[in-house]
Amino acid sequence: MTRTVNAPSADFNFAQHLIANNASRPNKTALIDDVGSVTYGELTEQIRRFAGGLKAMGLKREDRVLLLMHDSSDWVVAFLGSLYAGVVPVAVNTLLTAEDYAFMLTNSRAQAALVSGALLPTLQAAMDQVKTEVQHVVVSRPSAALSQGQFDMADFVRQSNPALPASTLADEPAFWLYSSGSTGKPKGTVHSQGNLYWTAELYGKDVLALRESDVVFSAAKLFFAYGLGNALTFPLSVGASVVLMAERPTPLATFKRMVDHQPTVFYGAPTGYGGMLASPDLPAKNRVALRLCSSAGEALPRDIGERWTAHFGCEIIDGIGSTEMLHVFLSNRPGDVRYGTTGKAVSGYEVELRNEDGSVVTGHNEIGDLYIQGPSSALMYWNNREKTRDTFQGVWTKSGDKYTRDPDGYYTYAGRNDDMLKVSGIYVSPFEVEATLVQHPAILEAAVIGKEDTDGLTKTKAFIVLKQGQSLTQDEVKAFVKERLAPYKYPRFIEFVAELPKTATGKIQRFRLRDLEKTAHS
């Protein structure tokens, strides 16, 4: 039976919504990070004081603040404290360059910055490059003496007076996330207070069925739309406990948290799951407490899902979301996992496939462009009217992905619009070829692009990363794929590489491979 979800009231502040929901559990552990833990009662107090500190600085409703922090309890306090005050946090990737942050500071017109001590030198380098409007910098866990205009976050929170929540609206701009930039310049994606509520209700509660007793751990970071829901919006909406990790999610670092903190729900990306399965340190099933795993970012290869379940006895529910829709809108469900597909539409969302002329695809297993309709769609791209109008088309949002739908209603990923290949006049999905390649026991990762042959015809080229200590010939790779796919799909060209170019969120940057290919033959 489908659960009825009521819309938030017109006057709605998401941070206050969480505080009210957790008022009955002040002594329950909310957050566990690398240096300690925070209860729900302590979290509420820190949110209110942080908001009071922002107001004392002179920040006003809808002013933007850059949020550049490693995952920690301070990240959560900074984000929710800003929302509570009606100030707009602009959460950014922690793995970028000073040049990237300089662009974001200018683009967002941030009035203040919230930064981890380890990232302060990079932020300072960015501020030195441009004329910035930043007047104050709040530093989480500083590692050196601070300069004028810089504040230690612990002192900042402790010395500020608690504030009352800002009287914000559900449709009011609440925070920004920059798109990953896998296809070019990142875009400031503006989300509302209500969007956080909708993703928690429709995915966190309906699909994941999170409960207060859960301990959750996300390899995807909080600055990423997927990670924000995983490790903040969803668990704090039900009173669960969250494990946060500042360092990069290497297999060893991830295993340590799985064993030490016994999370019941884990969120990762296909690249991470593949790396963990290939690791000699993979813990035994009896050393972890996993009841459910989630994957997004890119489509999960069937082989990885099946091997994970065989080892841990735990399903991975693969889904697709986007920065523009804030979280997952198409997903497998616990107990109804069909590996190799992305499942069906999450309740509350509608999806449809369209042809190049805009007509709706009605046949089965035909490739079409994926469009989504749902309540968590972003308001716009900041100061980018052309891209806004192209992506947000009335009630529909264009995802930029291509999919097929089988007779049972399950959707299968076919690639990004700009990644699709036409070989012998027929569309070929790079992902389908990649998913076949990684089934080979010697192959760790693969990426497929189009390459023109001597006749000027497009053929598939595979870039392959082998597992440590493994070897393969090009002919062995070709034979392996020919046995499993239609003849025109096997890679005519193969190059073995040490690593693949990726975004900080683990997505393969095929456009960089295409650029390298052009450069090599120019």
How many residues are given for the chain?
Answer: 522
pLDDT of amino acid 183: 46
Q: In the numeric block, which tokens belong to residue 29? A: 């552990």
> pLDDT tens track of the chain, all 522 residues?
567 899 999 999 999 999 999 999 999 999 999 999 999 999 999 999 999 999 999 999 999 999 999 999 999 999 999 999 999 999 999 988 898 899 999 999 999 999 999 999 999 999 999 999 999 999 999 999 999 999 999 999 999 999 999 999 999 999 999 986 544 578 999 999 999 999 999 999 999 999 999 999 999 999 999 999 999 999 999 999 999 999 999 999 999 999 999 999 999 988 889 889 999 999 999 999 999 999 998 788 898 999 999 999 999 999 999 999 999 999 999 999 999 999 999 999 999 999 989 999 999 999 999 999 999 999 999 999 999 999 999 999 999 899 999 999 999 988 777 777 767 656 678 888 999 999 999 999 999 998 877 766 678 999 999 999 999 999 999 999 999 887 778 999 999 999 999 876 677 888 889 888 877 766
Q: In the numeric block, which tokens belong to residue 478? A: 């070709």
pLDDT of amino acid 245: 98
**Rounded alpha-carbon distances, angstroms, from residue 256 to 37, 219, 242, 288, 472:** 17, 12, 15, 10, 33
CA atoms of 472 and 475, how far apart (whole Å): 8
CA max distance for the chain: 72
User: How many C-beta neighbours within 10 Å does residue 146 have?
Assistant: 15
**Rounded alpha-carbon distances, angstroms, from residue 385 to 75, 92, 321, 389:** 31, 21, 22, 6
- Provide φ and ψ at 479, rounded to 5°: -65, -40
CA atoms of 39 and 29, how far apart (whole Å): 4
Burial 174-206 (b: 16+ CB within 10 A, else e): bbbbbbbbbbeebbbbbbbbbbbbbbbbbbbbb
pLDDT of amino acid 182: 45
pLDDT of amino acid 451: 87
**What is the value of pTM for the model shown?**
0.85
Pair 31, 39: CB distance under 8 Å: no
CA quadruple 237, 239, 243, 244: dihedral, nearest 10:
40
CA atoms of 395 and 385, how far apart (whole Å): 17
CA atoms of 333 and 342, how far apart (whole Å): 10
Query: Using one digit for the tens of pLDDT, what is the confidence trace for 270-287?
Result: 888 988 999 999 999 999
3-state SS assignment for residue 316: strand
DSSP string, 62-83: T-EEEEE--SSHHHHHHHHHHH
CA atoms of 92 and 67, how far apart (whole Å): 6
3-state SS assignment for residue 411: strand
pLDDT of amino acid 425: 59
Alpha-helical (H) ranges within 407-491 are 430-437, 474-482
> 229: which DSSP letter?
I
